[in-house]
Amino acid sequence: MIESKQNKRVKQWKKLHRKKYRDQTEAFLIEGWHLVEEAIKSDWTIQTLIMVEDRERPEVWSHMDTIYVSQDVFKELSQTETPQGIMAVVRQNKLEFKPKYNKILLVDAVQDPGNIGTMIRSALAFDIDVIVLGKGSVDLYHDKVIRATQGAMFHIPIIQDDLELWINYCQQNEIMVYGTALDKGAKSLNQVDIQDKFAVMVGNEGHGVSSDYLEKADETVYIPIHEQSESLNVGVATSIVLYHFSLLT
Amino acid sequence: MIESKQNKRVKQWKKLHRKKYRDQTEAFLIEGWHLVEEAIKSDWTIQTLIMVEDRERPEVWSHMDTIYVSQDVFKELSQTETPQGIMAVVRQNKLEFKPKYNKILLVDAVQDPGNIGTMIRSALAFDIDVIVLGKGSVDLYHDKVIRATQGAMFHIPIIQDDLELWINYCQQNEIMVYGTALDKGAKSLNQVDIQDKFAVMVGNEGHGVSSDYLEKADETVYIPIHEQSESLNVGVATSIVLYHFSLLT
């Protein structure tokens, strides 16, 4: 059992709270029973289970590399208010582009971890094949993103990549690209007639989808809302579009 | 200008961060330009503007009771990471039941401030007449709720009340009550045929709508989701139902 916060492994784990170090090691930390269970059920690779001294590892996980740590060490690593005594170091999944991706969510510079988490959860719920997080979006492996996905991230392909490449890919493969906008010059969501293959682009909390990308969209859609309402939360708006499209395909 | 954190008014304002004191004084604090602007545009009553020493009050607000405070005092009161130097004390709106309420959102014990904020924003967007926050829901005047509404709370009636009274009211007034559930024995949202008058009941993040209330619903609906998906965020689920109903009425 590790009892010292100065222990080399403890220091390495703690560094996983920083993006730079996550990128270098291609690993990240998850915390709490539910997330760890979801990761184990998935095809992601768990490198190490970290458990607090008094917790027992479930029998079915006995094959896993497990390290016990003291309460103090666990608290040092934890990023939650009421730690559950379990964490895992998980290897990042480096996915690539697959021709089977026909329902695509393109995310442009969404910065709030809760919003990204919501989008991932809803994309899984509404049968999206792949999510692409473009430049300027918060890191997928940020602890608040992971928590907000509630484990959904382990069950749907997610790629951090240049959106432009994906827009081009869609255009070359007869995948209709729908931009979302507040602009009422756009088409109302309930009038959109969609295809089996589609990509939905959603954008930053303040500015929406960048105009460079919007220009390349085959169609721009908006969600009709009450005049006194300024806008919807971007996680909500994305979810509504994906729900709507899921009914049509 | 107030420069001391020990000033009596400063102490009173600070106490508004606590529900108990908000209830006693029937007032609450809002922070930031956007929220203050939205409150001023609305029919809510601003009691006092609080501005940091170097900020200038817009000419159009010159009739308002304004108190300047030092940077230090403002920081003491602020609940944001990057304070904008403007706050207001607002009087709570005590609304009652009106027969004109035909589209009702009933919220049962939703505890996350961000979720309540999202629901309020979406309810305004999708033309709901009134939102009722039942027992066990987070306080409407919690600073995180207020921030998450992005000002929408000032433009839609919101009442903190006993849901049972409202369910009874709906039943006596031919307003169909729809409960939401994960239960696939319920009716799929896209098969629901709704009326002009409806109430939607949504529930707690963990347990959903309490069974006592669900039993009283005229109909129970669920949102069809992918089998690997456990559930949607409750703010998202509420927004999807309200969006869907807004298309039908």
- From B140's Cα to the closest Cα of chain A, the distance in A is 18
Both tokens of A11, joined, read 């220091």
Is the pLDDT score of A184 beyond 70? no
Q: Across chain A, which distance is largest between two alpha carbons, in Å?
A: 63
Identity of the amino acid at B99: P
Tell me the backbone φ, ψ of residue B97, rounded to 5 degrees. -15, 120
Confidence of residue B233 (pLDDT cuts 50, 70, 90): very high
Establish if B226 touches chain A: CB-CB under 8 angstroms.
yes
Confidence of residue B84 (pLDDT cuts 50, 70, 90): very high
Strand residue runs (E) in chain A: 27-31, 46-52, 66-69, 86-91, 103-108, 130-133, 158-160, 176-180, 187-188, 198-203, 219-222
Q: Which of A224, A229, A235 sits opposite B124 (nearest CB)?
A: A229
Would you call B226 and A127 a contact, using CB atoms and an 8 Å cutoff? Answer: yes
| Angle (nearest 5°) at CA A84 between A80 and A90 | 80
Residue % of chain B over a pLDDT of 90: 84
Contact call for residues B19 and B139 (beta carbons, < 8 A)? yes
Contact call for residues A87 and A30 (beta carbons, < 8 A)? yes
Q: Which of A122, A127, A229 sits opposite B152 (nearest CB)?
A: A229
Is the pLDDT score of B184 beyond 70? no
Which residue in chain B has the smallest CA separation from A188?
B247
* Residue B147 to residue B153: CA distance in whole angstroms: 10
Residue written as token pair 């928590």: A147
Q: Strand, coil or helix: what is A237?
A: helix
Residue written as token pair 């807004």: B246
Contacts made by residues A56-59, CB under 8 angstroms, sequence distance 24+: none
Nearest to A89 by CA among A140, A15, A161: A15
Q: What is the DSSP string of A159-214?
A: EE--HHHHHHHHHHTTPEEEEE-S-TTSEEGGG----SSEEEEEEBTTTBS-HHHH
Which residue in chain B has the smallest CA separation from A156?
B228
Establish if A240 touches chain B: CB-CB under 8 angstroms.
yes
Residue B214 pLDDT: 94
Identity of the amino acid at B243: Y
Q: Which of B124, B233, B243 sits opposite A118 (nearest CB)?
A: B233
Residue % of chain A over a pLDDT of 90: 84
Residue B103 pLDDT: 97
Residue A200 pLDDT: 97
Establish if A152 touches chain B: CB-CB under 8 angstroms.
yes
Both tokens of A199, joined, read 């990509």
| Angle (nearest 5°) at CA A21 between A16 and A22 | 65
Residue B185 pLDDT: 75
| Angle (nearest 5°) at CA A74 between A72 and A79 | 120
> For A71-112, where are the alpha helices, taking DSSP H only?
71-77
Residue B182 pLDDT: 79
**Domains in chain B: boundaries:** 8-91, 103-248
b (16+ CB within 10 A) / e for B204-216: beeebbbeebbeb
Residue A240 pLDDT: 97
Tell me the backbone φ, ψ of residue A59, rounded to 5 degrees. -50, -45
* Residue A211 to residue A214: CA distance in whole angstroms: 5
Residue A185 pLDDT: 75
Nearest to A235 by CA among A114, A106, A126, A135: A114
ipTM: 0.91
Nearest to B89 by CA among B10, B153, B161: B10
- From chain B, the residues in CB contact with A239 under 8 A are 232-233, 236, 239-240
Q: Strand, coil or helix: what is A146?
A: helix
Confidence of residue B227 (pLDDT cuts 50, 70, 90): confident
Which residue in chain B has the smallest CA separation from A236?
B236
For chains A and B, CB pairs below 8 A equal: 84
Residue B15 pLDDT: 97
Which residue in chain A has the smallest CA separation from B231?
A125
To the question of domain A103-248 being in CATH 3.50.40.10, the answer is no
* Residue A141 to residue A22: CA distance in whole angstroms: 8
Is the pLDDT score of A183 beyond 90? no
Q: What value does the mean pLDDT of chain B take?
A: 94
Is the pLDDT score of B54 beyond 90? no
Is the pLDDT score of B57 beyond 90? no
Q: What value does the mean pLDDT of chain A take?
A: 94
Both tokens of A9, joined, read 């492994």
Would you call A155 and B127 a contact, using CB atoms and an 8 Å cutoff? Answer: no
pLDDT in tens, A123-159: 999 999 999 999 999 999 999 999 999 999 999 999 9
> How far from each other are the two terminal CA atoms of chain B, in whole angstroms?
53
Confidence of residue A55 (pLDDT cuts 50, 70, 90): confident
Contact call for residues B89 and B27 (beta carbons, < 8 A)? yes
Residue % of chain B over a pLDDT of 70: 100
Contact call for residues A70 and A2 (beta carbons, < 8 A)? yes
Question: What does the pLDDT average to over B113-132?
Answer: 97
As its CATH architecture, domain A8-91 has 2-Layer Sandwich (3.30)
Question: What does the pLDDT average to over A198-227?
Answer: 94
> How far from each other are the two terminal CA atoms of chain A, in whole angstroms?
53
Residue A227 pLDDT: 86
* Residue B20 to residue B31: CA distance in whole angstroms: 19
Pairing between β-strand B66-69 and β-strand B130-133 as defined by DSSP bridges: unpaired
Rg (C-alpha) for chain A, rounded Å, is 20
Question: What does the pLDDT average to over B205-214?
Answer: 94
Q: Strand, coil or helix: what is B196?
A: coil
Is the pLDDT score of B230 beyond 90? no
Is the pLDDT score of A60 beyond 70? yes
Q: Which of B126, B231, B233 sits opposite A226 (nearest CB)?
A: B126
Helices (H) and strands (E) in chain B, counts: 9, 11
- From chain A, the residues in CB contact with B239 under 8 A are 232-233, 236, 239-240
Residue % of chain A over a pLDDT of 70: 100
pLDDT in tens, B124-160: 999 999 999 999 999 999 999 999 999 999 999 999 9
Q: Which of A114, A152, A226 sits opposite B229 (nearest CB)?
A: A152
Q: Which of residues 106-125 of B touch A (CB under 8 A)?
A: 114, 118, 121-122, 124-125
Confidence of residue B231 (pLDDT cuts 50, 70, 90): confident
Residue B193 pLDDT: 85
Partners of A177 in beta bridges: A199
Identity of the amino acid at A34: H
